[in-house]
Amino acid sequence: MSVKGPLAAVALCCCLTATVHAQERTNAREVNPDQRQSGVALSLQLKVRDGNGFKSVCDGDCDRDLGKLPIGSQVAVCFKATADGYATVWNMDRNGGFDLIYPNKYSHKGNARGAAVKADTTTCIGEDNNFKLLVGPPAGLSQVYLHWTRTEAEQINPADYPVIGRDARSSPSYASTTLRYNAEQKK
């Protein structure tokens, strides 16, 4: 995803290239794609803008039918947790590129490590005029990753970025979920 100017047009493609990340991230942190945490359920939704607003492309089930999105499409990512906590949302492209898309400099002042979220409250990124998400290159399979923790201190360190794999820690202090989509060249 790439953020452009005050409208922050972010490219949510295989990699939501975000010039939004506030600091350089250099350390990979292996994370589970769908980590469970007692008492917490997470949901992710991907929406695409059509003539009448945004419509859902997938509601956490993109893995089954891989939502296909033309490069250049405006999209929104919505998420919800069933418990108060802190969240970060990342986009990862097929080449291993990553971008932190939430929190960002348009949603939070300073360098927030994670954004505070209230239980059962849906947060949508990319639906307003100040921060837009656009599907961008490269074409291919990408994923959106939601990382939730009970405290901000437990969030991913400022120098770290997530790499989907198998978390080596025995009982991670986070919950996570992902959805996948396919960015396609316009025909």
Which pLDDT value is given to residue 113?
84
- pLDDT tens-place values along the chain, 187 residues long: 333 322 233 434 333 434 343 457 788 888 888 888 899 999 999 999 988 888 888 776 565 556 678 899 999 999 999 999 999 999 988 888 888 999 988 887 777 789 999 999 999 999 887 788 999 888 888 889 999 999 999 998 888 888 888 766 656 789 999 988 888 887 6
Cα-based distances in Å from 112 to 46, 94, 116, 126, 135: 24, 27, 9, 18, 25
What are phi and psi for residue 64, nearest 5 degrees? Answer: -75, -50
Residue-wise DSSP of 18-79 = -TT-SS---EEEEE-TT--BTTB-EEEEEEEEETTEEEEEESS-HHHH-EEEETT-EEEEEE
Please, what are the domains in the chain? 9-184 (2.60.40.2550)
3-state secondary structure of 153: helix
Which pLDDT value is given to residue 1?
38
Please report how many Cα atoms fall inside a 13 Å half-sphere around the Cα of residue 166, on the Cβ side: 1
Which pLDDT value is given to residue 43?
93
State pTM to two decimals.
0.82
Which pLDDT value is given to residue 7?
26
User: Beta strand pairing status for 132-134 and 9-12?
Assistant: parallel
Q: Yes or no: say if 80 and 121 are a contact pair by the CB < 8 Å rule.
A: yes
Tokens 């296909």 belong to: 68
Which pLDDT value is given to residue 106?
80
The residue among 86, 44, 82 whose CA lies nearest residue 181 is 44
